[in-house]
Structure formats: structure tokens, C-alpha cells
Amino acid sequence: MSAPPPRIDEAPARIERPLDRPLRVLLPIAVLALGLILWEGVVRLYGIPPYVLPSPGLVLSTLVSDWGVLLSSLVVTLVTTLEGFALAVIGGVGLAVLFNQSRLIEYSLYPYAVILQVTPIVAIAPLLLIYLPQQLAVLACAWIVAFFPVLANTTLGLNSVDHNLSDLFRLYGATRGQVLWELKLKAALPYILAGLKIAGGLSLIGAVVAEIAAGSAGSGSGLAYRIMESAYRLNIPRMFAALFLLSVSGIVIFFTLSFLSHLLLRRWHESAVAREV
């Protein structure tokens, strides 16, 4: 007797083959190396001047020679990014918990969170610079951009808990606080971590946008300000070096949060449990 066909609504298990891990590392490195070779070849072949398009070698040498200036600016940008991210996590998770516990609060405040999200941060940054000190305005921009993904994902996770499990907890006499802590927050953890991964990169974007707005007023010392300064002075190699540091910072933030998500979910959640063939 033949086995019954698999159900359509059943998602296939994620199977990890032995070559998957090295391929995840080697293939992106190979693509990056190929891109750098093509970039270097185009610059050399057509004799493109450095103020139009510097070669990768020149960008690297500029990164080394200007490391002191770029490092100090990188620290300023990263401090603002991490502060905005921390505020977004605290505020987003905390407000999502309030939304889950009180529909009146959710109905009253959630539309304004949406309005805050859909308003372009480029338009908000100059306004904040008028009413707030420069550093607070930059921090507020980083927070505004990163806040909504945490709030939305946490709210979705808390509202997606199986109602049968909630009823079972209450049947055994669990309080609202116990249901929240023992069931809802733990069940919503994958959603929360997904929101954190999104918010980490967005907080960097918010900080950069605010630094550009502040830099246009003649002040600021973050990497975004160094990019604008380099553009005005036609120091394009330094501008590329600063862009490289920003990209590396975003990559490090993303993979750090991805590693944290893997550590917290690897033993029980299907998105992180790998199955060998």
C-alpha cells in the first residue's frame, strides 16, 4: 500500500547539506573578489581619474592613511546608532506589551506610530535640528526609524499566540502577568528577533540621514559628515573609504543580531533548527 501524499499546507523542513556552510561563505567572497577585479580593470583600462572613480587599491590606501580621522567619526556614528537601537528596543517592546494588555491603548496610539513610520526621516531631521540639540536630534532620528519595526513585529508576535494555549493557562489559574511572561513573550520571541534584525540596520540609516542634515548646517563629526566633506573637496577616495566603513558596520550589526537570534532559537524554533540529510 503506497504512502499517502504529503499535505499541501505542510511546509518542508529546512535541510542543511554538508556543503551548504562553506558555500555560504565562499560564494559571496568569490563574487566580491570578481567585482573588485572588474572595478580595478575598468579604472586601469580607461584611465579614470581618482576624483571620478578611484581604484580599490587607492580606496584601501586612503582607508589606511586616514584611519585616525575615519575611526573617530565611525565611533560617533556607531554610538548614536547603538543608542537609537537600544531606545527602539525598549520603547518598541514595552509599547507592544501595553498594546497587548489594553486594546484602548493600542487603538489610541498605534495610528500615530504608523504616521511616524511613513513620514520620511529626511523631512523630519531638519525640523528636529531646529528644536533639539544636534546630538539629541541625530539620536531621535535613529530612534524614529528603528522604533516601528520592533513595535510592529512584537505586536504581531504577541497577538499570534495560540488562543487555545492562552485559555489553557487561564484554566489553570494563571494571572495575566504569568500568561504574558510564560507564554506570550516566549512564543513571540522569533517575531521580536526578526524586528531587531530590521531595526539594527535602520538605526544606522537614521543616524546617517540625521548626520547629513546636521553636516549641511556646518557641524557634525560622524561618518556621514565625512562623506559630505569629502564630496565638497572632491576627495573621492576618502568618501569611498567612509562608505566602506558604513557598509561594514551595517553588516556587522546584522550578523551580530542574526547570531543572537540563532543562539536563542536554535534548540526549539523551526526557523533555526537545521536538519542534516
CATH number (domain holding residue 208): 1.10.3720.10
Higher pLDDT, 174 or 75: 75
Query: Per the domain annotation, does 6 fall within a domain?
Result: no
**Res. 31 pLDDT band, cuts 50 70 90:** very high
pLDDT tens digits for range 98-153: 999 989 999 999 999 999 888 888 888 888 988 888 889 999 999 999 999 999 99
Query: Per the domain annotation, does 57 fall within a domain?
Result: no
pLDDT tens digits for range 227-261: 988 988 889 999 999 999 999 999 999 999 999 99
**Res. 277 pLDDT band, cuts 50 70 90:** very low
Query: Can you give the pLDDT at residue 54?
Result: 93
Query: Per the domain annotation, does 35 fall within a domain?
Result: no
Query: Per the domain annotation, does 219 fall within a domain?
Result: yes
Distance, in Å, from the CA atom of 210 to the CA atom of 204, rounded to the nearest integer, reads 10
pLDDT above 90 as % of the chain: 49
Name 82's Cβ contacts closer than 8 Å, sequence gap at least 6. 203
Q: Given its phi and psi angles, is residue 223 left (phi above 0), alpha (psi -120 to 50 degrees) or beta?
A: alpha
Average pLDDT of the segment spanning 75-83:
93
Query: Per the domain annotation, does 48 fall within a domain?
Result: no
Count of domains for the chain: 1
Query: Per the domain annotation, does 114 fall within a domain?
Result: yes
Query: Per the domain annotation, does 184 fall within a domain?
Result: yes
Query: Can you give the pLDDT at residue 11?
Result: 47
Q: What's the domain range around 211?
A: 72-268
The pTM assigned to this predicted structure is: 0.84
pLDDT tens digits for range 192-211: 999 999 999 999 999 998 88
Query: Per the domain annotation, does 193 fall within a domain?
Result: yes
